[in-house]
Structure 1
Amino acid sequence: MAKIVFGMAVPHSGMLGQAPEDWLKNGERDRNNPALWFRNRTWTYPELEAHRGGAFEKYLTLEERTARAARCRKALDEMAAAYRRAKVDVAIILGKDQKEIFTDLSPSIAIYSGEEVHNGPPQRSVYAPDHHVVHKCHPKLATYLVETFQNKGFDICDLIAWPENVWMEQQLKQKADYPVVPHAYSFVYHQIMGDNPPPHVPVLMNLFYPPTQPSMARCIEFGRVLRDAIAAWPEDVRVAVIASGGLSHFVNDEEFDRDIMRRLASYDYEGLSAIPNGYYQSGTSEIKIYSTVMMALQHTGAQMTLVDYVPCWRTPAGTGEGMGFMYWDAAS
């Protein structure tokens, strides 16, 4: 029977691929964002800076940025090493599409049941190698998961063929000859799996965009059904469940992040579900799939290993991202 032996939650921010000298450039985007989500409501940048008193100015020196970038790189290397040590045969990769491929529809939950995925240029270098690569998926397992979730009351989109990456063409002004995967998945392939993923199933959760966002409670329940489905899969394989996404962003909230990490470490499902949905918006919504990993691993008895938590700021108002690097190792 299949056995879940490893879980991971890893940020996939573009800041992880930027030189610290360039971090502040992203701050201009934040200043022009009229709806920055922070603690259950949206703020303009001037409102946010006035509210927080410009308290993060002291963290914007090049020395601070360089030190935090080095910590992130060290943490990513340890995450990749932990993944290698687990010696998994199959992976379930949880992520989302940020209007990269779904521009005219918005499925709440989709499971990719195709044969392969593509990565490479013109995807940015933090997310892909400098050449086209093709990775094998696991259509048999994907179809089984679609059927299982349908039988358990989930309405699942069966994504049979990967759509064109429209965002990449619009933003990078380049068109690929193949459908490049969204960055949530390419980051895991490139940074964690060394461009050599095992047969795997990409799961897309619409975390960002109302009105079809699954709730925190729904993501937790998804983890329970996923756990049971993998346990009933008849093949003798070692399975990893990996969530690709950040903690608080695009407004970094260190107090909130540390509370979330405590709840994840203690398997506090009720506490995570009780937080108002307005806290899980914009990039911070990616926390929801961290809970999916937590549920999928609890039965193994694995304790969460927090490799590091690195708040990375880019404006005096504290916009940026809380980089949390954590895994659950039940491989031994």
Structure 2
Amino acid sequence: MAQIIFGMAVPHSGMLGQAPEDWLTNGARDRNNPELWYRNRTWTYDELEAERGAAFEPFLTIEERTTRAARCRAALDEMAAAYQRANVDVAIILGKDQKEIWPDQSPSITIYTGEDVHNGPPQRPVYAPDHHVVHKAYPELATYLIDKFQDAGFDLNDLQAWPENVWMAQRQGMRPDYPVVPHAYSFVYHQIMGDNPPPHVPVLFNLFYPPTQPSMKRCIEFGRVLREAIEAWPQDVRVAVIASGGLSHFVNDEEFDRDVMGKLASYDYEGLAAIPNGYYQSGTSEVKIYSIVMMALQQTGAQMNLVDYIPCWRTPAGTGEGMGFMYWSPEETAQKEAAE
């Protein structure tokens, strides 16, 4: 029978691929964004600065940016090492499409049932190698999961072939002859799996775009069904469940992030579901799929390992991204408990 032996929640921010000298360039985008989500409502940048002042100005120096960038790199390297230690046979990768492949539709939850996943240019170097690579998905497991979720009352979208990544083609001015996978997945392949993922199932959630966003409660239930389905899969394989996405962004909220990480560490589903949905908007919506990892790993007894948490700012009003690097390993937890 299949065993869930590893879980991970990792940010996939483009800032992780920027030199610290370039972090502030995205501040112009934040200043021009008329709908910056922060604490259950949208703000203009001027409103946000009036509310928070210029409290984050001290963190914008090149020295601060360099230090935080180095911490992010070290944390990402440890996450990749933890994944390698887990000796994974199969992975379930949870992410989203950010109008990259579906500019005109937003399916709530989708499972990819095709054979191949393509990565490479024009994805930026933080997301992909400098050449076209093809990774193998796991159609048999994907179809099995759809059947299990349908039985449990989920109506899912079946993605049988990747559409063109139109967002990337427009942004980079290149149209490759292969369908580049959305960045939530390419980041995991490249940065965590060293461009050598095992057979895996990509699951896409509409986290950004109303009205078809699954709620936190629905994502938690998805995690329960996923866990039960994997445990019933007859193959003798070691399975990882990996969520690709960030904590608070594009307005950093360190208090919120630390509260969420505490709830994740304590398996506090009710606490996560009680947070108003207005907190889970824009990039911060990616927290929802962290709960799926938590649910999948709970019965293994794994403790959450917080490798690091680094708020990374790019304007005085505190826009930027909260980088939280965490994983669950029941085997490492058991080793730690045995040594105590």
What TM-score results when the alignment is normalised by the length of structure 2?
0.97
Name the aligned partner's letter for residue 248 of structure 1. Answer: S
Corresponding residue for residue 148 of structure 2: 148
Corresponding residue for residue 13 of structure 1: 13
Distance between the aligned counterparts of 1:324 and 1:177, measured in 2? 35
Corresponding residue for residue 327 of structure 2: 327
- CA drift at 1:183: 0.2
Is 1:260 matched up with 2:275? no
Distance between the aligned counterparts of 1:11 and 1:88, measured in 2? 20
Name the aligned partner's letter for residue 308 of structure 1. Answer: D
Corresponding residue for residue 87 of structure 1: 87
1:281-296 matched pairs, under 5 angstroms: 281-296=281-296
Distance between the aligned counterparts of 1:331 and 1:156, measured in 2? 33
1:52-91 matched pairs, under 5 angstroms: 52-91=52-91
Is 1:105 matched up with 2:105? yes
Corresponding residue for residue 271 of structure 1: 271
- CA drift at 1:15: 0.1
Stretches of structure 2 lacking an aligned partner (at least 5 in a row): 333-340
- CA drift at 1:134: 0.2
Stretches of structure 1 lacking an aligned partner (at least 5 in a row): none
Corresponding residue for residue 218 of structure 1: 218
Corresponding residue for residue 236 of structure 1: 236
Corresponding residue for residue 298 of structure 1: 298
Name the aligned partner's letter for residue 24 of structure 2. Answer: L
Q: What is the root-mean-square deviation in Å for CA atoms of aligned residues?
A: 0.5
Deviations 1:194-216 (A, max 9, x none): 00000000000000000000000
Is 1:29 matched up with 2:29? yes
1:30-45 matched pairs, under 5 angstroms: 30-45=30-45
Deviations 1:134-187 (A, max 9, x none): 000000000000111011000100000011000001111111110000000000
SS at match of 1:67: helix
What TM-score results when the alignment is normalised by the length of structure 1?
1.00
SS at match of 1:184: helix
Distance between the aligned counterparts of 1:176 and 1:125, measured in 2? 16
Distance between the aligned counterparts of 2:244 and 2:216, measured in 1? 16
- CA drift at 1:27: 0.2
Is 1:187 matched up with 2:187? yes
Corresponding residue for residue 309 of structure 2: 309
Number of residue pairs aligned between Structure 1 and Structure 2: 332
Name the aligned partner's letter for residue 314 of structure 1. Answer: R
Identity %: 82
Name the aligned partner's letter for residue 128 of structure 2. Answer: A
SS at match of 1:243: strand
